[in-house]
Structures are given as C-alpha cells and as structure tokens.
Structure 1
Amino acid sequence: MTQTKPNTIEVAQQAFKHLSHGLATGDWNQLLDMLTDDFTFWFPVGPFHGLNVGKDRVREFFQYVSETFSEGITITSVDRITSNETTVVFEFRDEGTLRGEPYKNRVAISLDIRGDKICAYREYFGSDGKSY
C-alpha cells in the first residue's frame, strides 16, 4: 500500500488552527500533540528569549503565554502565508489584554514541518503595540 506524504501547508494550517485555539483558550493539547519529540522554538524576548529545546520547555512557554494573556489572544487577521517544501510562515495580527492593558500586534511565525509534525517554531513580532 502506498502512503501519501502529508502536505506541508495542510499540516501547518492545522497547527496554526491549534495555535489560535491555544491562544484564545489556554488549551494547548492539540498543538502539543503535533510537535516532534525534538521540537525547538525561538522566541524574541523575555524568559524564553532565544533557542529553546524540547516539549517540556514548550509546555512551560505555553503556560507563560496563558498566564501573561489570561483573557486570551484573538487572531484578528491572517495577512500572508508563505511556504516551501518544509517551512510555512504565517503573518497575522492579534489582540487581547496584556497584564491588564490593551494589546495589538503584528506577528510572523515560521513553522518547520517534518512529515505530519511540527519540528521547529520561530516567532517575530512587535510592530503594532505593546509586546510581551
């Protein structure tokens, strides 16, 4: 039986859907299930600045995001999606409340895909308002 290779953009879009859900609700389980065991992520500021390795570290990061944005974050628009065979970049706008203050931002995230999993994540932000 021939197996078809997962479509990179479809895998990334599913992960983005789970990311949006996690940002809004604090429930990250579906996204965590899509991450490889050797998952890495890069974040631009704060206690997770730089390269972070492993699922335990990303769980800590997701907890931090949920605590920092206790009322959740809403993605208000997806401005652009760019992809190649292994990487998909989402450029989007989001808003919420950051430690009691209104928050709006433009964000770009880059997802590296391996099979039907996400193996790396990089985030860049900071042009529309307060950032964390």
Structure 2
Amino acid sequence: MVPDSEHTLKIAQQAFVHFQHGLATTQWQGFLDMLTEDFTFWFPIGKFQGWNQGQERAKEFFQYVSAAFNQGIQLTSLDRITSNQTTVVFEFKDEGLLLGQPYKNRVAVFFEVRGDKICTYREYFGSDGKS
C-alpha cells in the first residue's frame, strides 16, 4: 500500500502543532506521544549530534532543549511546508533566549510519518541572527 500524501501532511501538521507548543512552553508530552517506538532523530550539533534512536533518547533531547530555552522559543514565521508521501518539511524562523542570551534562528525540521505517528525527525538550522 502506498502512503497517502494528504494523510502524511495531516499527521505531520498535527505533530508540528505539538512541536511548536513544546518550543513555546517546554511541555513536550503531546509531541512525544506522536512518536513511534523505534523513533529516530538527527541533530546537527552538541550532545545529541548525529543519529539518535528511541523514545527515551528523544525525551532526553527535548528536556535538553527545554533547559537551554527555559523561557521557551517563539515561532516568528512559518515560511514553507513541503511534503511528499512519507515526509513533511517545515521551514520557519524562531527566537527567544538561549541560555539567557538573545537567539534568532532559521530552521528546517523534517518529520517522516508512518501510520499516525512520526518515525523520524531531522533538524537543520543556520543561526545567522538575521530576520
């Protein structure tokens, strides 16, 4: 059976709402509830650089993000959504305080969908400080 691109987009958008809520409030449970048991994620830098696997590792990662951005991160613009039958990419800008210092970023997050869950997450960013 070929995945339905409309279903994939719907699930990814639902996950992105939970993801955005997690960024803003540091409350990630809604997003974590949407992850498959064998969830994998890729992050470009730091303690979680490279591929990571499992829901527990994801929980550790989002706790790490919450500690760094303990006042939350606000999405300032959603610039583009690109999707196919299995993957949806959200490109956005966000800002907040990173360890107490002003922070602005351009981000692309990829959600790979399997059924009604997110099975893979990848994040890429370039923090140039420009809007």
TM superposition score normalised by structure 1: 0.92
- Helix, strand or coil: the match of 2:85? coil
TM superposition score normalised by structure 2: 0.93
* Residue in 1 that maps onto 2:113: 113
* Residue in 2 that maps onto 1:128: 128
Q: Is the 8 A contact 2:11 2:116 kept in 1?
A: yes
Structure 2 unmatched ranges of 5 or more:
none
Q: How many residues align structurally? A: 127
Q: Percent identity?
A: 66
Residues 56-90 of structure 1: per-residue CA shift (max 9 Å, x gap) = 00000010000000110001110000000000000
* Residue in 1 that maps onto 2:15: 15
The residue correspondences of 1:62-81 to structure 2 (distance < 5 A) are 62-81=62-81
Runs of 4+ in 1 over 2 A off after TM superposition: none
Q: Give, in whole Å, the separation in 2 of the partners of 1:81 and 1:127.
A: 20
* Residue in 1 that maps onto 2:32: 32
- Helix, strand or coil: the match of 2:27? coil
Structure 1 unmatched ranges of 5 or more:
none
Q: Give, in whole Å, the separation in 1 of the partners of 2:107 and 2:13.
A: 16
* Residue in 1 that maps onto 2:42: 42
Indicate how the Cα distance of structure 1 residues 103 and 38 shifts in structure 2: closer, same or farther if over 3 A, else same: same
- Helix, strand or coil: the match of 2:96? strand
